[in-house]
Structure 1
């Protein structure tokens, strides 16, 4: 009879384990990639027709390498390894990794052990005391059979979160690279303004000397001198914040590189890099695979879908196997002579919990919907960022051409005004007006060149910093 009972017990145990291995667990209520996308998701960018969307040049491994500037490359290398946001993202990856390992550990049996030694002394009246030593050694094991896939669902959810934190690291590095490049461009812009102002101040001082020499000859008035002096002083006053702002920008660069101060040798460039042709834009669907923030949002959505599975499985009965064994004896030498072991299988499940577990399932389903809306928002925002960057660069480029034409006309007008003034047929006020107009247009040209570079930086970041790969896009959509 005992033998039959053992056979039935082990047969039942083997069947349950086999059922668990065959995966009879629950499956997630997945939302397909097509269903995740907004209903009006575009097939191409509005600024360029589909046949114009691809440029002849793709991106380099790192987008900033297209500018072929050693100084920028050195700063990027420093920032991407020592920036505080990047290091924080790395720490979060480690946290998520160990959390995933912790979740995976529940798939394996838990084994514990213990050892003890004790002395029992019995003292009786009018008799000798009796002492008894007891030595013991024990092992115990427990294992939850994952009948409904709860443990596997928790493990998969944590793995998806771990992968999402790796995408967060890529997002952090992409953001840092964009912020550093834009700050670097702004620093060069300030230096260009400084160089131009210093040239203009030197020129206007020479013109002031000429006007002063003309004064005794009655070819210039005191008003002319005062106006020219005012112009020189105005340019010198404009130079002060431009120079001081460079210190602020250098400190900002240092912060992005994880430092309080950068060596002067690291930031010496005074010229803008050449703007190459547009990178490969691909199609809006390519952003799903190219942008790390979109991938992270998608992974978190998948993680929450598996949390629904875990919540649903928690409402079902759980099968837990336990085993324990112990050995004992009067001394250490005889401890293995006596054995006691116990095997048990427990099936337990909730009967009434006031709707707590059902509420948890519905709560997690609501989180899935939240993650879905967040995913759609990230996708729409990515498309808009690309569109905005393209529009801003187009506008800045067109404005630059206009300012360059205006500058040419202003210089011709200025030369004519000076000629008339020197011939005595023109007023110095006209010269001063044209001087200010020409000076401002020169600075406007520098500003527009900086805007073009900033828009290009934003475009690289909006595209995910990498060349679109149609194969990756196809995998995501399918």
Structure 2
């Protein structure tokens, strides 16, 4: 301890010699600063076709259309605003971003030396029953790694890419939330139309039962006709109870998405029949690489895996670290900070792995396997996005015609029912013909509402899978 104290004191009288190791280390670090063992990153080719199977109209890209322009319903717009402010999944995504940002800052800080204030004191028994005392105070840098082979830089690059991936995942949550709120809102509109239809059907069947009951009391019809009329009424009541339950479930789902109880002062909205969502152009499949945040997130994970290969390769090379301190040292506590007590220590260390029983080789193999998995995940994400867009485009091309045809069916069934009702009242048709026409009309009207709901929800899905909702 005495010799160390004397060395620190002598160092203040030989500054020209002591600067040389620091200058040499700085020059060596500068010369090797550009060394990076990570493979050169190249974006994998997209494993999809050059065009979609279905054609689409020309127009403004979905990713460029703000959500409040695409969804014109004032009530839906307010629900989306509330969801963006209160939804818990969105809050979790925001917290994940902050966590990833902090982790990136922690990793990046390892590239720079950590300077600490150090105060120490020791008393050691010496020869002839003496006690040697040493006290020191100053600044210290402990085990600062010179990143000559890019290990720390690659770890920082990987952390940065993972942070960017988390940020892109949050964007995915946002556009998914907007689409989910829109679909849940459309479901509640469909529920209202179905309930209105069922109530009107129930009223019609109640009136029909009343007439059949009168005819039965007069002996005109049999008990079979009466029981059939009653069965139709109860069937309508079953459908009413089911639809009321479905409306409650859809309302609860919408409330969960919004993140709070729905306020009573929401602006008025439109009905499902009045709602219209414009057709969207698909563009080229290659556009998905830039407009889909889930694809961008998968690519950032691939960038991180590529950087981790560089960090694993650097483990095969020497790891040089520096430990240094500068301050005051004295054999007496009262002598600290006095003239002549200042000095410094400098202790470089180089470690080269020789026998590690395959640890570094296994680490490199694991990094390469993780990179292969990231490539496959990236390609699968692209293929999944291509299928989602293709499915939604197929829906855009066919749902409008399906709705038109289903409404035509409902109109024909309405005419058929009116004629059957007239013929039955005049005794020209049997009650069985009347019941069949009534059931067919109800089914056709329900199917028309469902077809319109599916058409609108498909447009919401197409807007989402084309990257709409970020603006």
Same fold (TM over 0.5): yes
Q: Is the Cα–Cα contact under 8 Å of residues 136 and 335 in structure 1 kept in the other structure?
A: no
What does residue range 365-444 of structure 1 map to in structure 2 within 5 Å? Answer: 365-444=368-447
**TM-score (norm: length of structure 2):** 0.87
State the secondary structure of the residue aligned to 1:278.
Answer: coil
1:140 paired to 2:140: yes
Deviations 1:227-248 (A, max 9, x none): 3232222212210111122221
State the secondary structure of the residue aligned to 1:271.
Answer: coil
What does residue range 8-47 of structure 1 map to in structure 2 within 5 Å? Answer: 9-21=21-33, 23-30=34-41, 32-33=42-43, 35-38=44-47, 41-47=48-54
How far 1:165 moved relative to its partner? 0.3
State the secondary structure of the residue aligned to 2:165.
Answer: helix
State the secondary structure of the residue aligned to 1:302.
Answer: helix
Distance in 2 of aligned mates of 1:381 and 1:163: 21
How far 1:213 moved relative to its partner? 4.7
**2:113 alignment partner in structure 1:** 109
Distance in 2 of aligned mates of 1:358 and 1:134: 45
- State the superposition RMSD in angstroms: 3.0
Q: Is the Cα–Cα contact under 8 Å of residues 96 and 166 in structure 2 kept in the other structure?
A: yes
**1:474 alignment partner in structure 2:** none
**1:362 alignment partner in structure 2:** 365
1:336 paired to 2:348: no
State the secondary structure of the residue aligned to 1:113.
Answer: strand
Q: Report the CA distance shift for 1:268/1:244 in structure 2 as closer, same or farther (over 3 A).
A: farther
How far 1:37 moved relative to its partner? 1.8
Q: Report the CA distance shift for 1:302/1:440 in structure 2 as closer, same or farther (over 3 A).
A: same
How far 1:93 moved relative to its partner? 1.1
Distance in 1 of aligned mates of 2:362 and 2:57: 49
How far 1:108 moved relative to its partner? 1.0
Greater relative contact order (Cα 8 A, min sep 6): structure 1 or 2?
2
Number of positions where the alignment pairs a residue of Structure 1 with one of Structure 2: 453
How far 1:151 moved relative to its partner? 1.0
Q: Report the CA distance shift for 1:265/1:251 in structure 2 as closer, same or farther (over 3 A).
A: farther
How far 1:276 moved relative to its partner? 3.0
**2:227 alignment partner in structure 1:** 226
Deviations 1:286-338 (A, max 9, x none): 11111111000000000110000011111111222222234134354753331
Deviations 1:246-296 (A, max 9, x none): 22112111222234x434555975712532331231111111111111000
Distance in 1 of aligned mates of 2:356 and 2:40: 24
What does residue range 173-188 of structure 1 map to in structure 2 within 5 Å? Answer: 173-188=174-189
How far 1:207 moved relative to its partner? 3.4
Distance in 2 of aligned mates of 1:238 and 1:264: 28
Q: Report the CA distance shift for 1:135/1:28 in structure 2 as closer, same or farther (over 3 A).
A: same
Distance in 2 of aligned mates of 1:319 and 1:134: 29
State the secondary structure of the residue aligned to 1:68.
Answer: coil
How far 1:5 moved relative to its partner? 5.6
